[in-house]
Amino acid sequence: MLTFQQEKLLKFIIDYQKENNVTPSFDEMKDGLDLKSKSGIHRIVSALEERGYIKKLNNRARAIEIIKNVNLIDTESGKNKNNIISIPILGKIAAGLPIEAISDNTNYIELPETLLKKGEYFILNVEGDSMIEAGIFDGDQVVIRKANDANNGEIVVALIDNNEATLKRIFKRGQQVALQPENSNYKTVIYGPDRIQIQGVLKHLIRSY
């Protein structure tokens, strides 16, 4: 099964070939998928070739042969006919001292649609131990529903001073915002409201054994 991004590129190549009678360049593929660098396109093209969907023709520029096509995913919604949704892994999030989130839109995890309610989701890799008493450990992955507000007591992705992201339980106290860890070795930190932006609310946890 292809990821959402793999199938999106495959569809882009097919549509481009039909319209222009030539394979798109890597720059055009990058722009078509709205990626920041060609390295992500190289990885997706290699994955498509490994899975037998395309074949790169040696010694020929812009030469990709389509071996097989699939029509499972609605590229506008990210959903497919098997009720699977591809959720992007956007990078890492600190469950400890705040660290900068790293954006990477080329990796996805597929989850059943029944697991998720309406909304837009993303996944982050957890680093640190400040949320271990809430059952969130270093190396876990958290599924986050995008939101710019949250209820008191919810675990959120909070952006601090526009450049550092952390995973903490949030409490609003008048004009102040408290980010509370779930580890007795860490202290709750209180911020002014202009320093905190909520990026999303924790909805699910993924752990590998």
**Residue 60: other Cβ atoms inside 10 A:** 9
**Three-state DSSP class for residue 44:** helix
Binned at pLDDT 50, 70 and 90, residue 3 comes out as confident
CATH number of 4-71: 1.10.10.10
- Enter the pTM of the model: 0.60
**Contact criterion met (CB below 8 Å) for 41 and 8:** no
Compare 108 and 106 and report the one with higher pLDDT.
108
**pLDDT at residue 97 in the model:** 61
CA 192 to chain centre: 28
Compare 30 and 75 and report the one with higher pLDDT.
30
- The answer to whether residue 4 scores a pLDDT higher than 80 is no
**pLDDT at residue 74 in the model:** 43
Q: Does residue 18 carry a catalytic annotation?
A: no
- The answer to whether residue 56 scores a pLDDT higher than 50 is yes
Q: How confident is the model over 107-156, as pLDDT tens digits?
A: 778 888 778 888 889 899 999 999 999 999 999 999 999 999 999 999 99
Tell me the CB-side half-sphere exposure of residue 106, using CA atoms within 13 A.
15
Say if strands 196-206 and 189-191 run parallel, antiparallel, or are unpaired: unpaired
Domain boundaries, given as residue ranges, for the chain: 4-71, 89-206
Binned at pLDDT 50, 70 and 90, residue 103 comes out as low
Q: Average pLDDT of the chain?
A: 83
Which residue in 30, 86, 92, 130 is the catalytic one?
Answer: 130
The CATH superfamily holding the domain 89-206 is: Umud Fragment, subunit A (2.10.109.10)
Which residue in 146, 168, 184, 208 is the catalytic one?
Answer: 168
Q: Does residue 203 carry a catalytic annotation?
A: no
